[in-house]
Structure 1
């Protein structure tokens, strides 16, 4: 029997969110418990889990307004959501994401798929992106009404599809939009991409971004832990300014949420400016929450700023072209 005790030596201390130890363990400090799918009594939204990759034992969680079941022909906009967590923590099945998706689906009257993907250190980047693309291809297989899941067959409007995520999940959502632009998902019309406090970075500070050496060193350590094959933060996966195919982004509308006290704030604004400068041809807008930190809408969903955030998200998806 192996009696070796886990190492207590810290590699990265990102309190109050996570600690990475030198033996590769990740301790999530503010994580939420996993919850099963359910019929939520507050929102009347029903959820269920369904596999999308039997090979890797991966599932996603589907959300559907309960009243929709009464009309098998009712089609709803489809949101595919990718959770955050620096590519190494959190889950589509965490209580904070379950609650968030229940509220969003209810307010917007949509169907949603929240994707679970493999994470570092066992499955470093780009595994999360590759799994997410596999999930999207599985979702798209329902566009002809003949996929393996009845909810998607009956209720998903594949001419009104949206990608979204927060933090690392926003990074994934952006790259899924790019992959869709380069290698179109059959039967899918991507109406918009919603990036919530996106995880972008770069080797050198940009205007309005911190030059704190300690923070930048911590982030670089985190990159080496979650993305060992990537040589630096100017890789296109983290720095869109170095993405040669950015103009191929497969959506003509992008909404970016940033927060005043979030150290990633400047990168969100920077991404919007890049899209405008490269001649992408779509419409991008940014909404900034004053006095708030990273992903505040998950931690405090009833605050005034969180309510405004959710309303803007809903309005973006319900906007008619």
Structure 2
């Protein structure tokens, strides 16, 4: 092997290592859990559904305990997991447990998307998969849970980190799609945004990390780290924010997250745009990136969950 091409260009010891050649070592091997009925008091049931046999795209559905035979239909929440477009799964214990809690707390029928990962499947594969899954879930035709219990007039999208980035890009696609399904609200949890140069309050290492991960996941991106898909506030890109394809937006950040400056800049740009929807901001103090996945019982995580529940309820 050419030693120059075997140079390490990005190293996150607990998660992954990326080489100049395009090779990747994944150290993060999530524990996968089977779908079924949750053993705790939530009573949330889950199941896996393959929605595209060609690409292998699948989703995991989460159905909370229903209160009687005449229970009203539930909002549908389509969720995109994080992991830098490179690691994690909708079937991992981390996301299974989080979606179980979210479905129970918010009273939603949740659809967690197991999209294809880079580098084996470069972007826009993940964007395409998540768009396909959203359209499938919103149709409420091809699955008995969705048909019987899902309210297709109340569709939400949410995601953390890279999944938050996917939420933004799905909203941009929804704005221009013919006969696009109505998206009532979107929740971006610590979304993964970047750029070629640091903005106010952004550490230089954040610029380096996001640029390297983005170049690996989407090596053909026009403009590199200023491609509007990773930098929606880049010169010339921010004007497109007025077309976000949802009615309400909640952007959530963490004060000790290296992405917090980018997340704030995104929220400010949306709020300053001509987008006709309503945008809200929540910043969790004293915590870091996706803390709510690692410490779901902490007070900040509980407050964040309460805010998401209230957002879905319309307040």
TM-score (structure 2 length as normaliser): 0.91
Alpha-carbon offset, residue 178 of structure 1:
1.7
* 1:161 lines up with 2:152 in the alignment: no
* 1:298 lines up with 2:293 in the alignment: yes
Number of residues paired by the alignment?
306
Compared with structure 1, are the counterparts of its residues 31 and 317 closer, same or farther at alpha carbon in structure 2 (3 Å cutoff)?
Answer: farther
RMSD value over aligned CA atoms? 1.9
Please give the alpha-carbon distance, in whole angstroms, between the structure 2 residues aligned to 1:12 and 1:61. 31
Please give the alpha-carbon distance, in whole angstroms, between the structure 2 residues aligned to 1:51 and 1:65. 21
Please give the alpha-carbon distance, in whole angstroms, between the structure 2 residues aligned to 1:171 and 1:185. 23
Please give the alpha-carbon distance, in whole angstroms, between the structure 1 residues aligned to 2:214 and 2:264. 22
Alpha-carbon offset, residue 244 of structure 1:
4.3
- Per the alignment, residue 229 of structure 1 pairs with 220
Please give the alpha-carbon distance, in whole angstroms, between the structure 2 residues aligned to 1:218 and 1:277. 28
Alpha-carbon offset, residue 73 of structure 1:
6.1
Please give the alpha-carbon distance, in whole angstroms, between the structure 1 residues aligned to 2:73 and 2:309. 17
Alpha-carbon offset, residue 191 of structure 1:
1.2
- Per the alignment, residue 249 of structure 1 pairs with 244
Structure 2 residue runs without a partner (length 5+): none
TM-superposition CA deviations, 1:15-59 (whole Å, max 9, x none):
333222455443444553111111002211000001111111111
- Per the alignment, residue 4 of structure 1 pairs with none
- Per the alignment, residue 58 of structure 1 pairs with 57
Compared with structure 1, are the counterparts of its residues 251 and 198 closer, same or farther at alpha carbon in structure 2 (3 Å cutoff)?
Answer: same
Please give the alpha-carbon distance, in whole angstroms, between the structure 1 residues aligned to 2:29 and 2:289. 14
Compared with structure 1, are the counterparts of its residues 312 and 132 closer, same or farther at alpha carbon in structure 2 (3 Å cutoff)?
Answer: same
Compared with structure 1, are the counterparts of its residues 8 and 202 closer, same or farther at alpha carbon in structure 2 (3 Å cutoff)?
Answer: closer
| 1:115 match: secondary structure | strand
2:265 aligns with one of 270, 287, 290? 270
* 1:117 lines up with 2:115 in the alignment: yes
Q: Is the 8 A contact 1:262 1:293 kept in 2?
A: yes
Please give the alpha-carbon distance, in whole angstroms, between the structure 2 residues aligned to 1:184 and 1:202. 30
Q: Is the 8 A contact 1:50 1:59 kept in 2?
A: yes
- Per the alignment, residue 47 of structure 1 pairs with 46
Compared with structure 1, are the counterparts of its residues 117 and 62 closer, same or farther at alpha carbon in structure 2 (3 Å cutoff)?
Answer: same
- Per the alignment, residue 12 of structure 1 pairs with 10
Please give the alpha-carbon distance, in whole angstroms, between the structure 1 residues aligned to 2:129 and 2:43. 30
Alpha-carbon offset, residue 138 of structure 1:
1.6
Q: Is the 8 A contact 2:76 2:138 kept in 1?
A: no
Compared with structure 1, are the counterparts of its residues 289 and 15 closer, same or farther at alpha carbon in structure 2 (3 Å cutoff)?
Answer: farther
Within a 5 Å distance, the mapping from 1:1-321 to structure 2 comes to 10-22=8-20, 24-42=22-40, 43-67=42-66, 70-71=68-69, 74-142=72-140, 147-186=141-180, 188-212=181-205, 215-230=206-221, 231-241=223-233, 242-319=237-314
Please give the alpha-carbon distance, in whole angstroms, between the structure 2 residues aligned to 1:217 and 1:288. 23
TM-superposition CA deviations, 1:233-267 (whole Å, max 9, x none):
11110111225432111112110110111110011
TM-score (structure 1 length as normaliser): 0.90
| 2:30 match: secondary structure | coil
Compared with structure 1, are the counterparts of its residues 203 and 94 closer, same or farther at alpha carbon in structure 2 (3 Å cutoff)?
Answer: same
